[in-house]
Amino acid sequence: MLFSILQDMALKGLKVIEMAGLAPSPFAGMLLADYGAEVIRIDQPKPLLSTNVLARGKKSISINIKKPDGVEIVKKLIRDADILIEPFRPGVMEKLGLGPEVLHKENKKLIYARLSGYGQNGSMSQAAGHDITMLL
């Protein structure tokens, strides 16, 4: 029965690249993995915070995305991915050379999901925030 359930997972065949970050990004990745997506979490070489509690069902790779070689590895992973989840403030991925314009050249069908707390523009866009902060 378990094998049958695993075969019929709603997101089976979907490949998700998750840039490691605070709660919203790893939680979203975990939910996608729970429904059968292949989720690959890209961790920093020396993570500031362990997110293993939200790593259920994921693969993980440590890549220094601040180095050109690391950026190239991410681009290679993106070529056959369906979704990218990134939790950074606006402009961070662009500074790294991994913004949507760049990554869509690698994969035109890529869904680029940005999970910044206050959106990509506006007066609060550069403020740190995610769901737990917004409740306070």
The pLDDT, as a whole number, for residue 49 is 58
| pLDDT for residue 5 is more than 90 | no
> Which carries the bigger pLDDT value, residue 56 or residue 134?
56
Average pLDDT of the residues of the chain: 84
The pLDDT, as a whole number, for residue 76 is 97
Dump pLDDT digits (tens) for 86-102: 988 888 899 999 999 99
| pLDDT for residue 58 is more than 90 | yes
In percent, the amount of the chain with pLDDT more than 90 equals: 55
* Alpha-carbon gap, residue 116 to 33, rounded angstroms: 21
Question: What are the C-alpha distances in Å from 48 to residues 21, 22, 44, 45?
Answer: 9, 10, 8, 9
